[in-house]
Amino acid sequence: MKAMNEMRLTFTSRSANEGFARSAVSAFVAQLDPAVDELADLRTAVSEAVTNCIVHAYRDTIGDIYMNVQLFENGRVIVRVRDRGCGIPDVKKAMEPLFTTGGEERSGLGFSVMESFMDTMRVRSTVGKGTTVTMEKYIRLRRRHD
């Protein structure tokens, strides 16, 4: 199925841009008329994905984060967050709850949070080349009263 609308954003891995990414996705997905809880789920998952890029992928440097959002007529939303950072040597290990490479102040729950708020999530990563997180959520379509 072809997407009925698509958005692509590129922004730097500065912490201030986490809120921007969350707001941009919210504004774009609003055209599907999501419920408040559906929008909150998307916002939380996007925040976690972008924060992972900022904290882990580009640890001591600034790099680009690429976000792509596709909307489908059946309510399906696909969000891809990609970086060209350090990559993840062991994705399976990184996805374990409480595992972190970010130091004591990090909870290690980012992937778990993304998985819990989205219908599906996949992580592809190559050491030295970067990581792509692909998340999908179905928005309940409500009958419009036009």
pLDDT tens per residue across span 39-85:
999 999 999 999 989 988 998 899 999 999 999 999 999 999 999 99
Measure the N-to-C terminal CA separation of the chain; round to a whole number of Å. Answer: 26
Asked, for residue 146, whether it belongs to a domain, the answer is no
Helix or strand or coil: residue 61? Answer: coil
Asked, for residue 129, whether it belongs to a domain, the answer is yes
The CATH number of residue 126's host domain is 3.30.565.10
Look up tokens 């976000």; give the residue. 67
Catalytic one among 17, 52, 80, 82?
Answer: 52
pLDDT given at position 103: 52
Active-site residue, 105 included: no
**Strand ranges across the sheet with 120-126:** 5-12, 64-71, 76-83, 130-138, 120-126
- C-alpha distance from residue 5 to each of 10, 37, 115 (Å): 17, 22, 24
Q: Count up the domains in the chain and report the number.
A: 1
pLDDT given at position 108: 53
Asked, for residue 51, whether it belongs to a domain, the answer is yes
Asked, for residue 102, whether it belongs to a domain, the answer is yes
Helix or strand or coil: residue 66? Answer: strand
Angle at 80 (CA atoms; ends 138, 17), nearest 5 degrees: 110
Asked, for residue 143, whether it belongs to a domain, the answer is no
pLDDT given at position 45: 94
Q: Are 79 and 121 in contact (CB under 8 A)?
A: no
pLDDT given at position 144: 57
Query: What does the pLDDT look like over 80-129, one tens digit per residue?
Result: 999 999 998 877 777 665 555 555 555 455 677 788 899 999 999 999 99
Active-site residue, 115 included: no
* Phi/psi at 70 (5° precision): -120, 140
Asked, for residue 20, whether it belongs to a domain, the answer is yes
Catalytic one among 18, 22, 48, 82?
Answer: 48
Tokens of 44: 């939380």
Q: Which whole number is the average pLDDT over 13-38?
A: 96
pLDDT given at position 56: 87
Look up tokens 């924060």; give the residue. 51
Active-site residue, 52 included: yes
The closest alpha carbon to 84, from 66, 110, 105, 98, belongs to: 66
pLDDT given at position 1: 83
Catalytic one among 68, 76, 84, 106?
Answer: 106
Asked, for residue 92, whether it belongs to a domain, the answer is yes
Asked, for residue 48, whether it belongs to a domain, the answer is yes
Q: Are 21 and 67 in contact (CB under 8 A)?
A: yes
pLDDT given at position 76: 97
Q: Which domain holds residue 40?
A: 5-138
